[in-house]
Amino acid sequence: MKRREFIKVSSLLSTSAVVSPTLFMGGCTTQALPGTGVVSKTPTICDMCFWKCAGDVYKEDNELWKITGNADDLHSGGRLCTRGTGGPGAYLDPDRLKKPLMRVTKEDGQQTFVEVSWDEALGFISEKMQMIADTAGPEKMLMLNHGAGSSHFRHLMRAYGSNSHAEPAFAQCRGPRDVGFKLTLGESASSPERTDMANAKCIVLIGSHIGENLHNAQVQTLAEAINKDVTLITVDPRFSVPAGKSKHWLPIKPGTDLALLLAWMNVLITEDLCDTDYLDRHAIGFEQLAEHVREYTPEWVYLETGIRPEVIRETAREMAKAAPATIIHPGRHAVWYGDDTQRSRAIAMLNALLGSWNRKGGFYIPEKVDLPAFPLPDYPKTKYSTADAYPGKWPFASQGVTNGVIEASIGEDAFFKGWLVYGTNLPQTIPGVADQLKAAADSLDLVVVVETMPSEMAGYADVILPECTYLERYDELRNSGERHPSLALRMPAFKPKYESKPGWWIAKQLGNRLGLEKYFPWEDFSEKLDWQLKEVGSSLEEMQKIGVKNFPRKYALYFREGQSVRFGTPSRKIELYSQQLADKGFDPMPVYTPPDPVPNGYYRLNYGRMPAHTFGKTTNNPLLFQLAPENQLWVNPLVANEWSIENEEYVRLASPTGVISNKIRVRVTERIGPDSVFMAHGFGHKSKRLRLTAGVGADDSELMSNVKVDPIMGGTGMRGSFVTFVKMQARGDS
């Protein structure tokens, strides 16, 4: 029998219906409205995705009413998106985790979870963590995480002596983009992205589905730009939402984007359309680049991409005409074909040729509030870093690589001995990882999962700790680098439901049990926030009333004319030719490699987002479920005809490795080409306790095979997968 079997968290939990919220009025402001009850509002920061929009939770006569955007929040344009307004669903969801759960083995040998007290759960975890620290070293305890609430546990882990850490947001999302921009421009594209769309005259989106992925303020500024007649160029094999708003839609063959980027550089250079003054002052390697892209003529690239040479030339000229107010958007989910750092580098280089980096209408220079850290003792020095778990691999990975650390957790001699997993559902996040997760869970001495919901990842835990939702807790202040520096407050609008607890409380309790009290000197996390706020001329009391405080900028928003700039690269210049890459044996300039051909009878598996959901995190939210209960499979009419598939019919998909998906409803549409199918990510949950969404729709990540790992930074290229159809009748399905 496996040491740690996957357990469906359903087996233990109650099935209570939605109950009225127990309300908590501390810190909120109230006012009487004629003809209605007493209305109060409490500031929050939305946690339905990573964008961190500030909002207000409204209650009437102490009953939850609604969540709206905070009108003073420039970060969000004063509005919440669809998912943000569905935030109460996260709080009200009857499927939430309610009590700490611990894995036990029954008399018949079966494993299950039993409810335990917080004392028992925390005691067990701290004993195991102490044992790992004593026998293997604290660095052998790894944290895997996602979301703003992770900061409490990162602090705990650093105090404990471990800086071993990885998050899918790097190797399964924006890592190649961040590394590609840093290698070229010495800085990342930031989050939120530092694009100056409100002042742009030309915007180029390459596989970036703004409007389908609702990154709130970004969607608003793109809409403003479109209203101001920006030239929008969208490169996408699908006729996506932004493609429908574009002057030019370039329906590129999947996997050939880098060829197009190189051809655009070829046109800019051969037609003398680059910003030569900007390049002379700021860049090195222009001559090598000119020589390098000479072979990528529009005529040659047409054969790869399917984009006609005259369209390549015309769009390049449009970009140059609008420069420097031209943005080649860096995108966000950049892990496609395993050459993603180089493709992201090509995007950064193209922006450099147009002189748009840190120029008006291109990219701006983000600025944060200078917020002092709360005075605490230094963290202990660590003997190992995360990268020591996979020596010699991915030399430019600027963060821990999830796929690397999971592999380093398998086997008796594994590098890692314990995991603390916060807010990330690894089985749906990392492609084709099920077998590795099982093997790691068999090997590790401790797996702790901190979650609000009974995710699939919780099924691998020794102990599951129920965190309360963002509407029931304090977290760190929002202080993002952006156009307008600001601070925003998240505070509890409600008492934690059931026996759930705030992350800061859980981290402090574990810290106390591990003898780390000096790192947690506050009784309540609000004390720390108040101290920080007073250091910048505000206070918790003020922020509880206003929620968001805007600060004046101290530095220029763009480069000033003639300014001498030191970029964050080794040469202190924009590096069109990268000696750093060459020194490590990589191509110093991006080289195009054609994608693998589609096997007979198979289709490229293309995936993306839908506006109502943030990945699998929100699909069980009862409010958002009503808006979008399942994902659909886009199928070209020619393909549907060939397979005799009707619109709205359910099918299953099969990968070349034999994985068969859950059933998914077909949408026959010409908005996708005949070589691909498309679905939104985040469906096909297996945890039965997610009662609304379990078994609904298909999960793209389990179908992924042919994953190409980026040798530069370890990102898992997820667009090289193929699938074929399994007709329901063929399986005897209903």
Please, which residue, 51 or 357, has the CB nearer to ligand SF4? 51
* Contact flags string 197-226 toward ligand SF4, x per CB under 6 A: -----------------xxx----------
Please, which residue, 169 or 214, has the CB nearer to ligand SF4? 214
Helices first, then strands: H and E counts in the chain: 24, 27
Residue-by-residue DSSP string for 285-299: -HHHHHHHHTT--HH
Which range of residues in 76-84, 145-153, 404-412, 456-464 is near ligand SF4 by CB under 6 A?
Answer: 76-84
Please, which residue, 53 or 142, has the CB nearer to ligand SF4? 53
Q: Does 500 bind ligand SF4 (CB under 6 A)?
A: no
Q: Does 497 bind ligand SF4 (CB under 6 A)?
A: no
The DSSP output letter for 562 is: T
Residue nearest ligand SF4, CB atom distance? 84
Select from 218, 225, 223, 220 the least CA-distant residue to 199.
225
In the complex, the smallest distance separating the C-beta of residue 657 from ligand SF4, rounded to whole angstroms, is 34
| Two tokens, residue 95 | 């499927």
Interface pick for ligand SF4 out of 78, 84, 161, 175 (rule CB under 6 A): 84
Please, which residue, 48 or 250, has the CB nearer to ligand SF4? 48
Select from 320, 363, 332, 361 the least CA-distant residue to 198.
361
Please, which residue, 165 or 332, has the CB nearer to ligand SF4? 332
Pairing of strands 231-235, 202-206: parallel
C-alpha to C-alpha distance for 259 and 281, rounded to whole angstroms: 28
Q: Does 83 bind ligand SF4 (CB under 6 A)?
A: yes
Asked if residues 7 and 105 have their Cβ atoms less than 8 Å apart, the reply is no
In the complex, the smallest distance separating the C-beta of residue 448 from ligand SF4, rounded to whole angstroms, is 27
Residues 6+ apart with CB under 8 A from 560: none
Please, which residue, 129 or 214, has the CB nearer to ligand SF4? 214
In the complex, the smallest distance separating the C-beta of residue 690 from ligand SF4, rounded to whole angstroms, is 19
Pairing of strands 63-69, 54-60: antiparallel
In the complex, the smallest distance separating the C-beta of residue 613 from ligand SF4, rounded to whole angstroms, is 10
Select from 497, 513, 393 the least CA-distant residue to 128.
513
The DSSP output letter for 548 is: E
Tell me how far CA of residue 671 lies from CA of 237, 249, 491, 674, in angstroms. Answer: 9, 12, 43, 10
* Contact flags string 160-199 toward ligand SF4, x per CB under 6 A: ----------------------------------------
Cis amide leading into 622 (omega within 30): no
Interface pick for ligand SF4 out of 9, 13, 49, 157 (rule CB under 6 A): 49
Please, which residue, 219 or 325, has the CB nearer to ligand SF4? 219
Please, which residue, 285 or 503, has the CB nearer to ligand SF4? 503
Interface pick for ligand SF4 out of 51, 505, 634, 683 (rule CB under 6 A): 51
C-alpha to C-alpha distance for 316 and 322, rounded to whole angstroms: 10
**AA identity, residue 119:** D
| Phi/psi of residue 51, nearest 5 degrees | -70, -25
* Contact flags string 8-47 toward ligand SF4, x per CB under 6 A: --------------------------------------x-
Interface pick for ligand SF4 out of 13, 53, 267, 707 (rule CB under 6 A): 53
In the complex, the smallest distance separating the C-beta of residue 83 from ligand SF4, rounded to whole angstroms, is 4
In the complex, the smallest distance separating the C-beta of residue 671 from ligand SF4, rounded to whole angstroms, is 24
Please, which residue, 52 or 652, has the CB nearer to ligand SF4? 52
C-alpha to C-alpha distance for 497 and 467, rounded to whole angstroms: 10
Select from 467, 427, 460, 496 the least CA-distant residue to 9.
460
Interface pick for ligand SF4 out of 7, 81, 574, 653 (rule CB under 6 A): 81
Asked if residues 350 and 278 have their Cβ atoms less than 8 Å apart, the reply is no
Q: Does 48 bind ligand SF4 (CB under 6 A)?
A: yes
Site size for ligand SF4 (CB under 6 A)? 14
In the complex, the smallest distance separating the C-beta of residue 70 from ligand SF4, rounded to whole angstroms, is 11
Residues 6+ apart with CB under 8 A from 287: none
Tell me how far CA of residue 39 lies from CA of 21, 36, 62, 254, in angstroms. Answer: 16, 8, 8, 52
Interface pick for ligand SF4 out of 52, 103, 182, 343 (rule CB under 6 A): 52
Please, which residue, 186 or 242, has the CB nearer to ligand SF4? 242
The DSSP output letter for 191 is: T
Burial (Cβ within 10 Å: 0-12, 13-18, ≥19) of residue 702: buried
Q: Does 490 bind ligand SF4 (CB under 6 A)?
A: no
Please, which residue, 48 or 352, has the CB nearer to ligand SF4? 48
In the complex, the smallest distance separating the C-beta of residue 623 from ligand SF4, rounded to whole angstroms, is 12
| Two tokens, residue 231 | 């030239």
In the complex, the smallest distance separating the C-beta of residue 85 from ligand SF4, rounded to whole angstroms, is 7
Residues of the shown chain interacting with ligand SF4 in the complex, contacts defined by CB under 6 A = 46, 48-49, 51-53, 76, 80-81, 83-84, 214-216
